[in-house]
Structure 1
Amino acid sequence: MLIDFFKMQAQGNDFVFLQSIPDIEPEILAKNICDRHFGIGADGLVYLIDSEIADSKMIIYNSDGTRAMMCGSALRCAAAHLFDKTATTDLQIETDSGLKSARLENDEIHVNMGTPRLIQSGLKLMDFTGELVDIGNLHYIIFEDKPLIDPHLEYGHQLSTSKLLPNEANVHFVSIQDKQTISMKIWERGAGATLACGTGAASTVFAGIKLGKLDNEVKVFIPGGELKIALNKDGSLDLIGTVSKVFEGSYIWKA
């Protein structure tokens, strides 16, 4: 059985996209396709299908087969693909976290991530104190006074799966360079260490603004490159950055 796909990346956060849903359990297919040794290799599998209420519908599965409520990087990739296929520069995408709007401006994809919610400030997990933010998925954000060497690799999984959290969360270790510039190290629930996390960048800037640490427009440096986050007047956040299509083809599925 051949499964047509295309692969896209946003600052190294990479996804395999399908435009139809094959008769295969998505959890099994996601783990198979996302395997970097025996599959195509990706941080997630995305179904980009027809929607009755938007320009398209996006369903995301992490590389471990779990379903993700939201992914800013995948959302930008999906929007870029749709922009490439149409003449429009504005569209809406249906997600498990509701409708998300996107626009194309100067070769950058802008997606409105909505308004995050600060679930708990100063939440202590292990030896860390962080901010717990919900932006459609959960993020635990640690602003580091003294940056550690790859703390996400050492502590990311334990923090992400802590029993003190309402659900598993993405984890970010953040270094503030100034009020307009930060850098992040990322551990994603269901994917592990990744090069980028759009919802994480937006959640981090939101938390930083709440704490008075950051301004309303921030450059976010991540292992895979650079993103921009802008706070809108209505309190929502725009996630801004470039994406690219890597390749397309047909995947051989052997049941």
Structure 2
Amino acid sequence: MIEFIKCHGSGNDFILIDEIAHNFTFSEDERRDLSMLLCDRETGVGSDGILFVLKSDVAEAQMRMFNSDGTEAEMCGNGLRCVARHIIEKEGRKHVQIETQKAVLAVEQVEQIYGGIDTFAVAIEPVSFEAQSLPMNFEKTEALDEVFPDLADDLTFTALSVPNPHIVSLVDEISEQKLKETGGKANDLPSVFPRGVNVSFVKILEHNKIFVQTYERGVGLTNACGTAMSASTLVSTILGSNDIGKPIVVINKGGLVNCVVNKEERRYSIQLRGNATNVYTASIEVDLAEKQWKWIDSVTHQDEIDTYEELKKYASTQI
């Protein structure tokens, strides 16, 4: 039997499995197979990925995030908020640290971004504009506001890792169809992006307010991607007029978050602030050998669902 929490950050939804609490010892193959089986929106539970919470020797817990196609992401900002909430409530503390693939990151509960929405802040780092950090094969060491002819002749992109690989384009209007086509092309170019890449279109709404939509590597079009919103905030600050050190409102199809870009000497860091909503808790039986699963029990957290819907409606009026 597997117990899990179905949760989301900005509509980016996950299955959270606490391997520590339930004494699970999944193998790497089992984590991959569970992700492909359970994340399927037609035959599975349905989610963008699975968050596995493991023991850590250097932090309160370790987070590993597997996409719906079974691949593992270096980081996941929306998922990290969900894990942050889980560990903060478990530990009974406001500040904890979570180990991710690339860094040990500080997470904390902060002032609500919307009434009734418990808000969690996570550090998004390390940040790098070096092409090799994505990795990306490019003629220059960095790609800042550059045209990638293989993707689109009429768009410019900035490439950065946070530490997930991202390319970001500032646009006047966002076309989902063009984003889907561009994201598909980018992830079918292993000669340029050997490990794939997340592609975001960003529309500047007003000073310190942007709208972001993302084609997420291993997932496709998403309601929101935490590292993409963070990367997009940074790019809109460098190439636009958004402020360093002040909250920037980031609207997405799943709601909204706040991002704060900080700079110390030549080093950037980003803090991502937003919800971590628990939709329901559940128990299931899984037979990985037969690729089958069945429900045992579930409890819906309707109050959290209703409160987040209010935020989502508000966010839709800000576009």
What TM-score bracket applies, with the shorter chain setting the length?
A: over 0.9
Q: In structure 1, what residue type is equivalent to 2:128?
A: R
| Aligned partner of 2:160 among 133, 155, 161 | 133
Q: In structure 2, what residue type is equivalent to 1:152?
A: L
| Aligned partner of 1:123 among 136, 141, 146 | 146
Q: In structure 2, what residue type is equivalent to 1:22?
A: F
Indicate whether 1:252 and 2:285 are aligned. Answer: yes
Pairwise CA RMSD: 1.7
Q: In structure 2, what residue type is equivalent to 1:105?
A: V
Residue equivalent to 1:29: 34
Residue equivalent to 1:63: 68
Indicate whether 1:109 and 2:114 are aligned. Answer: no
Partner of 2:26, secondary structure, is coil
| Aligned partner of 1:153 among 155, 180, 198 | 180
Instruction: Confirm or deny: 8 A CA contact 1:150 1:185 kept in the other structure.
Output: no
Q: Distance in 2 between matches of 1:213 and 1:159?
A: 28
Instruction: Confirm or deny: 8 A CA contact 1:160 1:171 kept in the other structure.
Output: no
Residue equivalent to 1:226: 256
Residue equivalent to 1:204: 232
Instruction: Confirm or deny: 8 A CA contact 1:4 1:250 kept in the other structure.
Output: yes
Residue equivalent to 1:12: 11
Report how many aligned residue pairs link the two structures: 254
Instruction: Confirm or deny: 8 A CA contact 1:161 1:169 kept in the other structure.
Output: no
Residue equivalent to 1:100: 105
Q: Distance in 2 between matches of 1:123 and 1:143?
A: 11
Q: Distance in 1 between matches of 2:174 and 2:163?
A: 28
Deviations 1:23-74 (A, max 9, x none): 5522211100101121111101111011111000001110000011000001
Q: Distance in 2 between matches of 1:44 and 1:115?
A: 22
Q: In structure 2, what residue type is equivalent to 1:249?
A: A
Which segment drifts farther, 153-162 or 101-110? 153-162
Q: Distance in 2 between matches of 1:30 and 1:166?
A: 22
* Poorly superposed stretches of 4+, deviation over 4 Å: none
Instruction: Confirm or deny: 8 A CA contact 2:126 2:163 kept in the other structure.
Output: no
Instruction: Confirm or deny: 8 A CA contact 2:103 2:125 kept in the other structure.
Output: no
Give ranges in structure 1 of 5+ residues lacking alignment: none
Deviations 1:179-210 (A, max 9, x none): 31110111100111111111001111111222
Q: In structure 1, what residue type is equivalent to 2:162?
A: I
Q: Post-superposition shift, 1:253? A: 1.1
Q: Distance in 2 between matches of 1:146 and 1:48?
A: 38
Partner of 1:237, secondary structure, is strand
C-alpha distance 79-146 of structure 1, shift in aligned 2 (>3 A): closer
Partner of 2:168, secondary structure, is strand
Deviations 1:78-135 (A, max 9, x none): 0011122222100000010210100101331011112422232133232232000110
Q: Would you tell me which structure has more strand in proportion to its own residues?
A: 1
Q: Distance in 1 between matches of 2:44 and 2:173?
A: 39
Q: Post-superposition shift, 1:224? A: 0.1
